[in-house]
Amino acid sequence: MTRIRKAVFPVAGLGTRFLPATKSVPKEMLPLLDRPLIQYAVDEARAAGIEEFIFITSAGKSALEDYFDTAAALEMRLERAGKTEALAALGRTRMPAGTLSFIRQDRPKGLGHAVSLARRLVGDEPFAVLLPDDVIRAPRPALAQMVDAYEHNRGHMVATMTVPRAKTASYGVLDVLSENGRIAKVRGLVEKPDPGKAPSAKAVIGRYILEPSIFDKLDMITPGSGGELQLTDAINADLSTAGVSGYRFSGERFDCGSIQGLIQATVAFGLDRPDLCEEFDKFVHQRFFPWRSIA
C-alpha cells in the first residue's frame, strides 16, 4: 500500500488582508504566538508521516526559504550564551537535507494551477496538500486523521467542516451522496455556491489527499470561479475515475488568512500553553470581566 510521503504547500499568495504587514513579511510567515503559520502546517505534515515538502512560492518569498535554512551564526551565539531553550526552539525549524523543494508560481492563477506545478516532484503517487492559512487545533493532527481514513477510503479526499449556510459562498461545498461516520461520499464539489443554491453546508477546508490522476485533470480544466484554475474543478473532473470523499476531522479550524481568525487562534493557542495561560487568562478577565474575581 502506497504511503502518503509528499505534501504540497501553496504559499504564493500576496496576503492583501494583512497589508501593510505583508508588504515585507510573507503571509505564511506571520506569527501565531512564537511560530509562523507555515511551521504549524509543516509540523502537522510531519506528524502525518510526510517526508518531502514542496512549497509553491512567488517572488519576494525568500524569508520562507531562510526560515527553514540553518542559521549557523545565530546558533553559535546562542550556544556560547548558554541559551539552551532558545537553541532547542531554533532546532525545530531545521529540516533534513534534501526534503524541501521550492517552485515559483509566476503569477496568481488559482489553487489548481499552484498544485499542478508540483507534478514532476510528486510523481506517480498520492500526496497531500495543506493550506497554511487554515490552522487546525486538534487533539490529533488533522492530516494524520485523514491519512488513517485514506487507508480505508482510497480516491481523492478533502477535509470538511459544517459552516453556516450564509457562509457557503466563501467555500467549496460538498454535494453529498451518502455518509458513514466521518466519511461522506460525494457526487461532486461546488466552488463558492450562493447560499440559496448550496447542495449542503459541508465546506471544504485546506487539507487534501489527492491521487496522482489529478494532474491530468489539472492540465485539462479551464478558468472557473474568479477566473482562476480551481482545484475543485479538477477533482470534479476526476470523480468517475478516482472517486471523492469528504472527511469530517476532529478539531477546531481557524482561518488565519484573516485578521479576525488570527486573533481567535492566538487566544485559543495561548490558553493551551502552560507557560502562557495563567497570565493570559488573568489579562482577559481583568480587561473584559473586571467585576469577576479570579481565585
Quickly state the pLDDT bin for 140 (edges 50, 70, 90).
Answer: very high
Residue 1 has pLDDT above 70, yes or no: no
* Whole-number average pLDDT of the chain: 90
Fold adopted by 6-257: Spore Coat Polysaccharide Biosynthesis Protein SpsA; Chain A (3.90.550)
Q: What is the pLDDT of residue 208?
A: 97
Q: How is the chain split into domains, by residue range?
A: 6-257
Q: Using an 8 Å Cβ cutoff, are 277 and 58 in contact?
A: no
3-state per-residue secondary structure call for the chain: CCCCCEEEEECCCCCHHHCCHHHCCCHHHCEECCEEHHHHHHHHHHHCCCCEEEEEECCCCHHHHHHCCCCHHHHHHHHHCCCHHHHHHHHCCCCCCCCEEEEECCCCCCHHHHHHCCHHHHCCCCEEEECCCEEEECCCCHHHHHHHHHCCCCCEEEEEEECCHHHHHHCEEEEEEEEECCEEEEEEEEECCCCCCCCCCEEEEEEEEECCCHHHHHHHCCCCHHHCCCHHHHHHHCHHHHCEEEEECCCEEEECCCHHHHHHHHHHHHHHCCCCHHHHHHHHHHHHCCCCCCC
Q: What is the pLDDT of residues 232-268, one digit of tens each?
A: 999 999 988 878 999 999 999 999 999 999 999 999 9
Residue 14 has pLDDT above 90, yes or no: no
Through-space distance between the first and last CA atoms of the chain, rounded to whole angstroms: 55
Q: What is the pLDDT of residue 71?
A: 79
Q: Give the mean pLDDT of 200-207.
A: 94
Q: Using an 8 Å Cβ cutoff, are 25 and 8 in contact?
A: no
* pTM reported for the whole predicted model: 0.91
Percent of the chain with pLDDT strictly greater than 90:
55
Quickly state the pLDDT bin for 74 (edges 50, 70, 90).
Answer: confident
Helices 142-150 and 37-47: crossing angle in degrees, nearest 10, is 30
Q: What is the pLDDT of residues 157-186, one digit of tens each?
A: 999 999 999 999 888 899 988 988 899 999
Residue 30 has pLDDT above 80, yes or no: yes
Q: What is the pLDDT of residue 122?
A: 96
Q: Give the mean pLDDT of 109-133.
A: 95
Q: What is the pLDDT of residue 222?
A: 85
Residue 226 has pLDDT above 80, yes or no: no
Q: What is the pLDDT of residue 294?
A: 53
